Chain A
Amino acid sequence: QVQLQESGPGLVKPSETLSLTCTVSGVSVSSDTYYWSWIRQPPGKGLEWIGYIYHSGNTNFNPSLKRRVTISVDTSKNQFSLKLSSVTAADTAVYYCARARIAVAYVDYWGQGTLVTVSS
């Protein structure tokens, strides 16, 4: 079955770069049917879309985060990754990786989420 699992440091210092990887099993990230997405949720708050990548490498980002976000895909490892630069305390959140069906933005599988805290 399809599974997504986030991994990466749980603590990042202010002004540094947050880096997370999502390992996908049960489906290839090379599939042309899906977007591979990152979504976050600050503690006690709502969901915020960060961006997504298509198997071709095409990306789309939340305009409010676009200057700081990079999403990449590694088909050899069946993984995709998120980098968020110049982080502040406002970037503290649970970060989810997710699979979405193209054209309809239907998120059908989520990772379990990983808490990233920005603090010195």
Chain B
Amino acid sequence: NFMLTQPHSVSGSPGKTVTISCTRSSGSIASNYVQWFQQRPGSAPNTVIYENDQRPSGVPDRFSGSIDTSSNSASLTISGLKTEDEADYYCQSYDAYNWMFGGGTKLTVL
């Protein structure tokens, strides 16, 4: 089994840019796609990035995803922060046998 580690919290001011990291403990981050979900309180998660860097229709281009093999991590970057971006964000990936979610990162827009 592998784990995905995210920072517990990040914050940023409206209009600024924040990046949330997701580090894979074993196995290459490039071996399996990474997804990112946004979850507002009381709601089901909603995909903002799939297959490392793809945006579902309806997700603004302020959201972008990437992977970095040197740090074995994935990143979600949100630019032009808006108050509506305040939520919990989860990364998710898989291997041949299991799916795994990161522990979640609370984004606060100050």
Q: How far is the CA of A46 from the CA of B90 in the complex (A)?
A: 8
A110 partner, pick from B44, B90, B94, B102, beta carbons under 8 A: B44
Enumerate B29-49 residues with CB–CB distance to A below 8 Å: 32-33, 35, 37, 44-47
Interface 1/0s, chain A 84-102, versus B by CB < 8 A? 0000000000001000000
The answer to whether the Cβ of A23 comes within 8 Å of any Cβ in the partner chain is: no
The answer to whether the Cβ of A105 comes within 8 Å of any Cβ in the partner chain is: yes
B96 to chain A minimum Cβ distance, whole angstroms, is 10
Q: How far is the CA of A110 from the CA of B40 in the complex (A)?
A: 14
On whether the beta carbons of B50 and A49 are closer than 8 Å, the reply is no
The answer to whether the Cβ of A63 comes within 8 Å of any Cβ in the partner chain is: yes
Q: How many contacting A-B pairs (Cβ < 8 A)?
A: 56
On whether the beta carbons of B44 and A111 are closer than 8 Å, the reply is yes
On whether the beta carbons of B33 and A47 are closer than 8 Å, the reply is no
For A104, give the chain B residue with the smallest CB separation: B33
Specify which chain B residues have a CB less than 8 angstroms from the CB of A7 in the assembled complex.
Answer: none
For A52, give the chain B residue with the smallest CB separation: B99
On whether the beta carbons of B100 and A49 are closer than 8 Å, the reply is yes
For A51, give the chain B residue with the smallest CB separation: B99
The answer to whether the Cβ of A11 comes within 8 Å of any Cβ in the partner chain is: no
The answer to whether the Cβ of A27 comes within 8 Å of any Cβ in the partner chain is: no
12 more A-B contacts (CB under 8 A) besides A46-B103, A49-B101? A46-B104, A47-B45, A49-B99, A49-B100, A63-B97, A105-B92, A107-B45, A107-B92, A108-B56, A110-B45, A110-B46, A112-B44
Interface set of B (CB-CB < 8 Å, partner A): 1, 32-33, 35, 37, 44-47, 50-51, 56, 90, 92-94, 97-104
Give 29 A-B contacts (CB < 8 Å), ordered by A residue: A39-B101, A46-B103, A46-B104, A47-B90, A47-B92, A47-B101, A47-B104, A49-B100, A49-B101, A60-B98, A62-B99, A96-B44, A96-B45, A105-B33, A105-B93, A105-B99, A106-B35, A106-B47, A107-B35, A107-B37, A107-B45, A107-B47, A107-B92, A108-B47, A108-B50, A108-B56, A110-B44, A110-B45, A110-B46
